Amino acid sequence: MNAMRPYIALGKREIWEHKSLWIVPAVIGCLGILFAFYGSGALLVAAHQGMININSNITGVDRMEGVRAFIFGSAAFFNTVMLFMVWFYLMDTLYADRKDRSVLFWKSLPLSDTTIVLSKLFTGMVTAPALMLAAVVVTEIITGILFIIALSLAGVNILPLVFQPGTIILAWITLAFALIVQSLWLLPFYGWFLLCSAWARKLVLAWTVLIPLGAMLAERLVIGTHYLASAIFGHIVKMFMMTMSGHYSVNGVSVGSGIAVGADNKHSPFWDHGGPMTLGSLAHMFAQSGMWIGVAIGIIFVLGAIWLRRNHSEI
């Protein structure tokens, strides 16, 4: 337990210094609740005018799919914003310590550079997603209650249709598991952001983006191939494909096991079977060699960031 105290203290410090990590999800949640309040009012008016017809013959499967679609759909926007937040946080965190020379203060404390860097990585990989998940859960509970109350006032009882405790809790657990998988899958990018933050003297964003783009362009012009671009963008695409459907294929070459069950989607060149994100499809990600190769690359980048902070800590 004593070994965890520095990480807990540093984690609190990161949240305190980077308030956007919790303020942004809270603001998005408040906006979502505000729109839900407006939408529930509009539903109430529409119901009084006879413009809404609730189908009470909806099957249990359809009800569960609807609940999952609501939970995952509303979480998608939170997650997108969170990823951009983590991107800018990791790019700035080590650079800001060097720029304002607070790195000298932290070096005077009995904390290793490894502890400092890992605490920042933990903030991006765990703390930020956890805060986002908490905001999603609170927002979805409140918005769901608002819509149920509005329709109840209009004489329409949809509580038996949407109140699926087992489905709701399982969907939140699935979402939490998805965030864990996402953090591991994106570790090479997170490590790269930290490496650039520990190395760049200025314009960290430019170096973060321009170095990979320059390498891709050089490969294309000199060798005539695009392996690096395929590896970088394919890593991201494959993650989203497999977490949502459990089955991924390109040009008829199957990757994955089709664990999730869903309707055929013949309009996409990437999907053999579209379907909901499930614990099975997420667990299958751990069997993908691409994930662990990415984790290894991410660890190398993080080790590079630790070395740079230890040996080149000032701008």
- For residue 120 the two structure tokens come to 């920042």
Is pLDDT at 232 greater than 50 in this prediction?
yes
Is pLDDT at 274 greater than 80 in this prediction?
no
Q: How do residues 243-268 score in pLDDT, each as one tens digit?
A: 554 444 444 434 443 323 233 333 33
- pLDDT for res 251: 40
203: left (phi over 0), alpha (psi -120 to 50) or beta: left
| pLDDT confidence band for 122 (50 / 70 / 90) | very high
Residues 6+ apart with CB under 8 A from 213: none
Strands (E), 238-301: 247-250, 253-256
Q: What DSSP state is assigned to residue 286?
A: G
Q: Among 200, 220, 178, which Cα is nearest to 92's?
A: 200
> How many angstroms separate the CA atoms of 230 and 216, rounded?
9
> How many angstroms separate the CA atoms of 28 and 267, rounded?
33
Average pLDDT over residues 190-197: 93
Which range scores top for mean pLDDT: 155-164, 202-211, 273-282? 202-211
pTM score: 0.78
- pLDDT for res 203: 86
**H helices of 100-225, where?**
102-107, 113-122, 128-153, 159-162, 165-185, 187-199, 204-222
Is pLDDT at 208 greater than 50 in this prediction?
yes
- pLDDT for res 192: 94
With beta carbons less than 8 A apart as the criterion, state whether 200 and 309 touch.
no
- pLDDT for res 132: 93
- pLDDT for res 103: 66
> How many angstroms separate the CA atoms of 164 and 170, rounded?
10
A 10 A CB-CB count for 73 gives 9
Which of 128-142, 172-186, 235-249, 266-280 is predicted least confidently? 266-280
Is pLDDT at 70 greater than 70 in this prediction?
yes
A 10 A CB-CB count for 153 gives 13
pLDDT over 90 percentage in the chain: 25
Which of 24-28, 145-149, 160-164, 304-308 is predicted least confidently? 160-164
- pLDDT for res 257: 35
Is pLDDT at 61 greater than 60 in this prediction?
no
* 215-236 CB burial, b ≥16 within 10 A, e <16: ebeeeeeeeeeeebbeebeebe
Q: Among 107, 130, 133, 116, which Cα is nearest to 14's?
A: 116
- For residue 283 the two structure tokens come to 């667990």
Secondary structure class of 309 (helix, strand, coil): helix
Average pLDDT, the chain: 77
Would the CA dihedral through 205, 211, 212, 217 be positive or negative?
positive
Q: What DSSP state is assigned to residue 247?
A: E
Q: Among 121, 124, 122, 95, which Cα is nearest to 309's?
A: 95
Is pLDDT at 68 greater than 70 in this prediction?
yes
* 266-277 CB burial, b ≥16 within 10 A, e <16: eeeebbbbbbbb
- pLDDT for res 40: 78
Q: How do residues 280-295 score in pLDDT, each as one tens digit?
A: 778 878 888 888 999 9
- For residue 230 the two structure tokens come to 């395929």
297: left (phi over 0), alpha (psi -120 to 50) or beta: alpha
Q: How do residues 134-145 score in pLDDT, each as one tens digit?
A: 999 999 889 888
